[in-house]
Amino acid sequence: MNHHRPRIVVVGAGIGGLSAAISLAARGARVTVAERLDRPGGKMGEVRAEGFRWDTGPSVITMQHVYEKLFSLAGRALDDYLELTPLHPITRYFWPDGVMIDALADEAAMYEVIRDTFGPEDANGYRRFMRYARRLHDIVGGPFLYRHKPSWRDLLSLPLADVLRIDALRTMHQAIASYFKSPHLVQLFDRFATYNGSSPYRAPATLNVIAYVEMAQGAWYPRGGVFEFARAWERLANELGVEIRYGEPVQEICVRSGVAEGVRLAGGAVLPADAVVCNVDYVWAQRTLLPAHGRKRAEVLEPSCSGFVMLLGIRGEFPHLAHHNIFFTQNYPREFEDIFDRRIAPSDPTLYLCITSKSDPDHAPAGCENWFILVNAPALSEAFDWSSQGEHYAQHIRALLAARLARAGIAFSPSDAVLLERRLTPLDLQATYGGHRGAIYGFSSNTRTTAFMRPGNRDGQIRRLYYASGSVHPGGGVPLVTLSGMAAAEQAARDLGL
């Protein structure tokens, strides 16, 4: 046992960094977090302007049990820090041919919706698909999500029947198409690949577990906005004695004789530590924070997709729209070819529209709504230049939005309705968060082996250096990043005898 309380420095106050800090402080460590922004949350941010308020990062919260576990580690109840309200419907889906359905977290109710819209055969297909996705969750959850990074040995230790049942040889799309006749429903379930920035035509069918997590366990919205999440994590960290230093960029992780010994801040000050947890993009950390001899090459893994975001302050109220809305493209394969093969902003993308003022009316002035529009975009490359093409693309998306709404019978004129507009391109995402090539979710899962290739939570060469972010195990998205912080903390605690 250590007689002194080990000192740990966390680089970055994103959700992964704060989850690691909370887990370590709850175990008795002295924790300092250095963050270059002036706020917590990392990609989970917010923008306020002229009476409007938008979340700028994640917008759907799933896997509530993960956050409850983190808070209970600290002897606290999540409910005392955050009011999570279940979303009903979770998402309203619109197709180009005028079909519209609400996705519900109640399986019996969803069965009825599908039967009424697409017929009994697809309703039964839905029931079978959910059983299949649940089985995936039961097999994959233990070794792949809730523990350290899986090795081939973990896979080999599963019963052979389970190895076959994790369905890694088919793509998500192939598996989904075997359950549904309606192309609409195939597209709806294909969409879950985008939750970690991948393509359903390439990602292994194992990822159909994502659909189970949302459709069976439900999705929530934190009262006040998703940024309240970051505030709750910050509050708990402060209560546990974690010191968070905002506006303090880390310039270097100090390594001596193969051991991480602290960090050097941009101002030159050194924060010594018994261990360092790195909560920044993995590739960016390897390139900029580590000494040359300690770096590992991570560029071999394909980055996930990025995103193009428009924040619109809208005059008028639109009762036909829900909190979450999806307007599908006619040609889904083409959208993913644009993103991952051509690497250009898709010409006819699926549009995601989130309106938190539906749940929190004070997020927009009276008689107005706050629209957050997200389009999946390629990671930055030579193939598409946002600085010269961003303006044109924004106009294109506005026109596309009006056309998709009109098809759904909703009259919307951008020139009359849009009171103000803010944008985030992949260039902004890279500049603000240091995400490699603007990728939102670290690496894509477009190969069968990504789960094994993704960097783990402990550095293989530098001792006492740990990673917690969407670009390491178990992957991107708020619940997985929280798990990554907890896993990094657990490994550090074990190594330090906490």
Residue 303 pLDDT: 87
Quick one: pLDDT at residue 357? 98
Indicate if the alpha-carbon torsion angle 183, 169, 148, 286 is positive or negative.
Answer: negative
- Lowest-confidence range among 144-158, 207-221, 469-483? 144-158
Among candidates 447, 172, 193, which has minimal Cα distance to 300? 447
Decide if 176 contacts 190 (C-beta within 8 A): yes
* 145 pLDDT above the threshold of 80: no
Which pairing describes strands 259-265 and 250-256: parallel, antiparallel, or unpaired? Answer: antiparallel
Helix (H) or strand (E) holding 351: strand 351-354
Confidence of residue 452 (pLDDT cuts 50, 70, 90): low
pLDDT number for residue 2 = 46
Q: Quick one: tokens of 301?
A: 């893994």
How far is CA 107 from each of CA 14, 173, 181, 216, 240, rounded to the nearest angstrom? Answer: 34, 21, 19, 7, 40
pLDDT tens digits, one per residue of 295-342: 666 666 788 899 999 999 999 999 999 999 999 999 999 999 999 999
Give the pLDDT band of residue 140 (cuts 50, 70, 90).
Answer: confident
Q: What is the dihedral of CA 265, 269, 272, 278, to 10 degrees?
A: 0
Per-residue pLDDT for 241 more than 50? yes
DSSP-derived letter for residue 78 is G
Which structural domains are found in the chain, ordered by start? 7-43+65-72+224-300+454-496 (3.50.50.60), 106-216 (1.10.405)
Spatial contact of 303 and 436, defined as CB atoms under 8 Å apart: yes
Q: Which of 43-52, 139-148, 426-435, 471-480 has the highest mean pLDDT?
A: 43-52
List of residues 6+ apart from 129 with CB closer than 8 A? 176, 179, 180, 189, 208, 211
Q: How far is CA 453 from CA 169, 297, 482, in A?
A: 17, 12, 20
CA triple 41-56-137, angle to 5 deg: 70
- Return the minimum-mean-pLDDT range out of 261-270, 295-304, 370-379, 470-479: 295-304
Q: What is the pLDDT of residue 203?
A: 92
Residue 203 gets the label, from left (phi > 0), alpha (psi -120 to 50) or beta, of: beta
Q: ∠ CA(85), CA(86), CA(92), 5° rounding?
A: 125
CA angle at 377 for the pair 397 and 388, rounded to the nearest 5°: 70
- pLDDT for res 92: 98
d(CA 335, CA 466): 36
**pLDDT over 90 at 161, yes or no:** no
Q: Which residue has the higher pLDDT, 448 or 241?
A: 241
Q: Is the pLDDT of residue 67 over 50?
A: yes
- Quote the pLDDT of residue 1: 45
Terminal-to-terminal C-alpha distance of the chain: 7
The residue-averaged pLDDT of 478-483 equals 93
- Tell which wins on pLDDT, 206 or 232: 232
| Per-position b or e across 405-426, b if 16+ CB within 10 A of its CB | beebeeebebeebbbebebbbb
Answer whether residue 153 shows pLDDT above 80.
Answer: no
In eight-state DSSP terms, residue 158 is: S
How far apart, in whole angstroms, are the C-alpha atoms of residue 374 and residue 54?
A: 12
Decide: helix, strand or coil at residue 94. strand
Residue closest to 268 by CA, chosen among 254, 284, 282, 256: 254
Non-local (6+) Cβ contacts of 145 within 8 A are 474, 480, 483
Q: How many angstroms separate the CA atoms of 31 and 241, rounded?
A: 8
Q: What's the average model confidence in pLDDT over 256-265? A: 96
Tell me what percent of the residues of the chain surpass a pLDDT of 90.
78
- Please check whether residue 454 is in contact with residue 465, taking contact to mean a CB–CB distance below 8 angstroms: no
Confidence check: pLDDT of 377 > 50: yes
Distance CA 212, CA 139 (A): 13
Q: Tell me the two tokens of residue 278.
A: 């790195």
What single-letter amino acid sits at 241? G
DSSP character at residue 361: G
